[in-house]
A and B are shown apart, each in its own frame.
Chain A
């Protein structure tokens, strides 16, 4: 059973470009979370999605950031017009749809974004 798959593992962008980060949840999971870890800082929640719905985006920056989780395909975190401050590790997690305890989150290995 494959874990949470994130790609790319490393992404380099120049200021002003767009960054697209992909996340495929574990099989049987329909709940996806995105977290960001800035250099030397802790993990911060960004957004929680279910298929085709954004449930909680309280941690998303108001501008340039968006997320989606379409009916088919991976979840996408999109950052438009990247700036150096966006350089960070972005982690995706998923949790199961069924079971006694649902809110155990399984994390991917992350995408490390570097903005030049």
Chain B
């Protein structure tokens, strides 16, 4: 799997937007961009994924650069419950299965 680079940590205040960046300059044309998060003492949780176009769901938005070499996960209004480690992962998608390769992720701290 292609490698991703994320900041080690970020901080936010409650109810403010949070933009979590991810660089993936070696992404291939068939790689999907996944985001997962892991709350303290819990298993990872799927957040969102995309290929080329920006994506929105109830949890977050994913903004993908036009050249696909970077992406940004956007939490529109951070809550204390959003404090977690956020992982950006590239994975061959579509009809294929396979392992997820987790990096170190970004530790998000949300201040009340």
Size bracket of the B interface? 20 to 34
Most chain A CB inside 10 Å of its own CB: which residue of B94, B95, B98, B105? B98
Contact present for A91 and B44 (CB under 8 Å): yes
Dominant secondary structure at the B interface: loop
Shortest beta-carbon distance from A110 to chain B in Å: 5
Shortest beta-carbon distance from B47 to chain A in Å: 10
Most chain A CB inside 10 Å of its own CB: which residue of B43, B44, B49, B96? B43
Is A104 in the interface zone, CB < 8 Å from B? yes
Contact present for B103 and A42 (CB under 8 Å): yes
Question: Which chain B residues border A106 with CB–CB below 8 Å?
Answer: 46
> How many Cβ-Cβ contacts under 8 Å join chain A to chain B?
63
Q: How many A residues, CB 8 Å from partner?
A: 26
Closest A residue to B38 by CB, please name it. Answer: A43
Interface residues of A in 91-115 (CB under 8 A from B): 91, 93, 95, 101-110
Question: Which chain A residues border B102 with CB–CB below 8 Å?
Answer: 35, 42-44
Contact present for B44 and A43 (CB under 8 Å): yes
Contact present for A101 and B43 (CB under 8 Å): no
CA distance A107 to B41 in the complex (A): 13
CA distance A91 to B43 in the complex (A): 7
Contact present for B43 and A110 (CB under 8 Å): yes
